[in-house]
Amino acid sequence: MKLTTLRLPFWRLERFLSDAGTSDRAIAGACRINHRSVSQYRASGVPFLQADRIACRIGVHPANIWPEYWTAGAEVLHD
């Protein structure tokens, strides 16, 4: 599996940001991304590389949001 095709579950990000609100616009504002991207991620998952960018924007390591998935992504890098 390539990192460009790996997608992480959106619900983890939504749960992590629950204090910011769960509307697409509230999540978009917290992550500093377009609300249309939020809709897309909600439907098909967050691309692995975008997950890293989002986590950095909210001041955490992606493993804080997607612990088991982030480890799996790191294993992909070493294969």
CB 24 within 8 Å of CB 35: yes
Q: Give the pLDDT of residue 15.
A: 93
For the stretch 34-61, pLDDT in tens is 999 999 999 999 999 999 999 999 999 9
In 1-79, the DSSP E strands lie at: 7-8, 46-47
- Domain residue extents for the chain: 7-78
Could you tell me how far CA 5 lies from the centroid of its own chain? Answer: 14
For the stretch 3-32, pLDDT in tens is 668 899 999 999 999 887 788 999 999 999
Angstrom distance (rounded) from CA 64 to CA 10: 14
Bridge partners for 47 per DSSP? 7
Q: Give the pLDDT of residue 72.
A: 59
CB 55 within 8 Å of CB 49: no
Q: Report the CATH fold assignment for 7-78.
A: 434 Repressor (Amino-terminal Domain) (1.10.260)
